[in-house]
Amino acid sequence: MSSTRTRPIEKFAKATSKCSVEAAAYGKCVVADYTAVQKDMCAKEFMKLKNCFLAASKKV
């Protein structure tokens, strides 16, 4: 029994591969002051990454 339905993890993997620039920017922001991470420290970068994931997942 073969299924052509895309599994959620596969969809997520494809979406994340399209957001490498945003993921790198968010990672750099967190690492810049990782000993003092606090809420909303990288909110701008996170929102760009989140929006990229959402847009990319709709296209997959």
The model's pLDDT over 17-31, given as tens digits with 9 standing for 90+, comes to: 999 999 999 999 999
pLDDT at residue 58 in the model: 84
51: three-class secondary structure by DSSP? helix
Pick the residue with more confidence: 16 or 41?
Answer: 41
Question: Domains of the chain: which residue ranges?
Answer: 9-59
- pTM reported for the whole predicted model: 0.78
